[in-house]
Amino acid sequence: MENEHRRFMAMALKEAMTAFRRDEVPVGAVIVKGGTVIAKAHNQIEMLQDPTAHAEILAIGAAANHLGSRRLDGCTLYVTLEPCPMCAGALVLSRLDRVVFGSYDPKMGACSTLYNIAQDERLNHRVEVIAGVMDAEAGSLLKEFFAKKREE
């Protein structure tokens, strides 16, 4: 299973690289069902001038469109950065089975670091969380992006 997680996280990292090249915070997401990628996205907040255009939200929308259903039962989201509260809420609402993320987010993380919305027992659905997959690769991309921004 670890090899499969790394394979799909590598795809999410490619999406993050696309965001990086477009001067967006480099976060990428891939949604998989039955071993097949059904959606992928990267942050597009600046391009769309939309504060909700996070990679996770865009990928969830694409997956729902692909399946013709708002429920993403049987799906796994691979994302390079721990989801924020908005995105963690979307994971629960879409009924994803699991989220696999790369880097922990000490400022906005809502799947283990600051909050754990994905597994909050008070909610009607819980999402399995697998953390730290390819953390070094995802983290170095974010560090490079923000170092570049500080230089500008």
Entry pTM: 0.96
- What average pLDDT does the segment 133-150 reach? 95
Q: How would you list the strands of the sheet with 28-33, edge to edge? A: 36-42, 28-33, 75-81, 98-103, 128-130
pLDDT, position 125: 97
Choosing from 15, 24, 56, 82, the catalytic residue is 56
Q: What pLDDT, in 10s, does the model give residues 10-24?
A: 999 999 999 999 999
The DSSP code sequence of 118-152 is GG-TTSS---EEE--TTHHHHHHHHHHHHHHHHH-
Q: What pLDDT, in 10s, does the model give residues 106-139?
A: 999 999 999 999 999 999 999 999 999 999 999 9
Whether 56 sits among the annotated catalytic residues: the reply is: yes
Please answer whether residues 149 and 24 qualify as being in contact, where contact means their C-beta atoms are separated by less than 8 angstroms. Answer: no
Please answer whether residues 55 and 79 qualify as being in contact, where contact means their C-beta atoms are separated by less than 8 angstroms. Answer: yes
pLDDT, position 152: 85
